[in-house]
């Protein structure tokens, strides 16, 4: 019957650690990307059904796009912040204003219905017998070893209007602050946990430590970890997903993601940032820089070509060629090393 008060120093900690289901907590985190994918797919089907269209017909008229930011709450569970936008589409696929039937509350109502019903089946961690050998984390074995992961009851959907209380700029600033939020109170879990011995050396709250320990214990069960990675859509790797992402309490998804056509691409943003850095470096070092066709400043390379010249070949990756001397080049007696 106890509840945290607003100024409780234990906020983010379970009042009864023995009652907290650590196994399902980390499995929930691991399944968030798959659950969001199922939600996104179901949303289009729900909107098409209400509008009296097929999914293909819906996509010919509107485009539903999103930007998603994941927040790791102090209690160790993932919380999603989403911006969903509906645009109209021309016959050529260009973006235009959304039709009247899609500009109201139809999409929001469909999203509420989908969030309340969508679920993904996963292996139940309660069927694994090695959650905590000390017995401090009691669990009840599942009858069939399966469990359904769904969204919680706390869902807040609001309309974003330019110039209104939920202005797009305010929402952008709100989302951006979560990209720099640490998993814990310090930087102890900002890097992978290499072993349980490494974990013991970290200064963590008991609740955080138990979440990471549970990831390792569940991840050490080969059958369970393989079934969970398959359900989460994770490709098999050298380490099970729960162990690899134990520092994020099992969450292995991207902290920020978006539809490709929601806005500009990350590649375009990186190109602008790279171009600015090169121009800035050229200005500080006194190297020459020129202008492009639009009159903007561009850095020049050692050959006097502007940054981004199509004649410039960019090598984006390296591979190991070998070590030691090249015997072919030494055949003529040059004697150089490589």
pLDDT given for residue 313 in this prediction: 79
- ∠ CA 326-328-332 to the nearest 5 degrees? 110
pLDDT given for residue 257 in this prediction: 87
Distant-in-sequence, close-in-space partners of 115: CB < 8 Å, separation ≥ 6:
39, 151, 155
146 token code pair:
């399966």
**Could you tell me if 212 and 288 are in contact, meaning their C-beta atoms sit under 8 angstroms apart?**
no
Helix 22-51, helix 106-117: angle, nearest 10 = 140
pTM of the model: 0.75
> Closest Cα to residue 125, out of 148, 145, 103?
145
333 token code pair:
């007696």
b/e burial code for range 143-154 (CB count within 10 A of at least 16 → b): eeeebebbbeee
pLDDT given for residue 270 in this prediction: 86
pLDDT given for residue 48 in this prediction: 92
Task: Look at phi and psi of residue 93 and say left if phi exceeds 0, alpha if psi is from -120 to 50, else beta.
Answer: left
Which pLDDT tens digits describe the chain residue by residue (338 residues)? 788 888 888 888 888 888 889 999 999 999 999 999 999 999 999 999 998 999 998 888 898 889 899 988 888 999 999 988 888 888 777 888 888 888 778 889 999 999 999 999 998 888 775 444 444 433 334 445 678 899 988 889 888 876 666 677 777 787 877 776 665 556 778 889 999 899 999 988 899 999 999 999 999 988 899 999 999 988 888 889 999 999 999 999 888 888 887 888 888 888 888 878 877 777 787 766 666 666 667 777 666 677 667 777 777 788 888 888 877 765 555 444 44
pLDDT given for residue 214 in this prediction: 93
pLDDT given for residue 308 in this prediction: 65
Write out pLDDT tens, residues 119-145: 999 988 887 754 444 444 333 344 456
Write out pLDDT tens, residues 37-62: 999 999 999 999 998 999 998 888 89
Domain positions in the chain are: 17-258, 266-328
pLDDT given for residue 137 in this prediction: 37
Residue keyed to tokens 């469990």:
147
Query: What burial class does residue 64 get, using C-beta atoms within 10 Å of its C-beta: 0-12 exposed, 13-18 middle, 19+ buried?
Result: buried
d(CA 226, CA 236): 8
**Could you tell me if 146 and 123 are in contact, meaning their C-beta atoms sit under 8 angstroms apart?**
yes
pLDDT given for residue 216 in this prediction: 94
């Amino acid at each position: 019957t106890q509840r945290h008060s607003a100024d409780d120093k234990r906020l983010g900690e379970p009042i009864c650690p023995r009652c907290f289901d650590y196994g399902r907590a980390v499995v929930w985190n691991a399944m968030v990307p798959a659950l969001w994918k199922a939600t996104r797919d179901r949303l289009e089907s729900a909107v098409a059904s209400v509008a009296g269209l097929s999914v293909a017909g819906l996509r010919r008229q509107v485009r539903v796009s999103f930007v998603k930011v994941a927040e790791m709450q102090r209690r160790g569970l993932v919380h999603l912040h989403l911006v969903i936008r509906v645009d109209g589409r021309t016959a050529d696929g260009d973006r235009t204003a959304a039709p009247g039937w899609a500009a109201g509350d139809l999409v929001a109502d469909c999203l509420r219905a989908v969030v309340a019903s969508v679920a993904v089946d996963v292996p139940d961690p309660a069927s694994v017998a090695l959650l905590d050998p000390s017995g401090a984390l009691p669990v009840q074995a599942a009858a069939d070893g399966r469990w359904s992961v769904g969204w919680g009851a706390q869902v807040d959907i609001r309309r974003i209007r330019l110039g209104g209380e939920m202005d797009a700029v305010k929402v952008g600033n709100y989302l951006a602050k979560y990209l720099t939020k640490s998993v814990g109170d310090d930087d102890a879990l900002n890097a992978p946990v290499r072993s349980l011995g490494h974990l013991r050396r970290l200064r963590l709250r008991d609740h955080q430590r138990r979440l990471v320990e549970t990831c390792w214990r569940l991840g050490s069960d080969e059958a369970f970890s393989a079934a969970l990675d398959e359900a989460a859509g994770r490709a098999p790797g050298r380490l099970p997903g729960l162990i690899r992402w134990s520092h994020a309490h099992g969450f292995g998804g991207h902290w920020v993601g978006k539809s490709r056509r929601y806005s500009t691409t990350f590649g375009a943003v990186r190109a602008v940032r790279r171009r600015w850095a090169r121009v800035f470096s050229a200005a500080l070092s006194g190297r020459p820089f020129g202008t492009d066709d639009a009159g903007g400043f561009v850095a020049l390379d050692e050959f006097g070509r502007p940054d981004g010249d199509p004649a410039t070949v960019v090598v984006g990756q390296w591979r190991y060629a070998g070590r030691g001397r090249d015997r072919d080049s030494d055949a003529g007696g040059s004697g150089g090393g490589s």
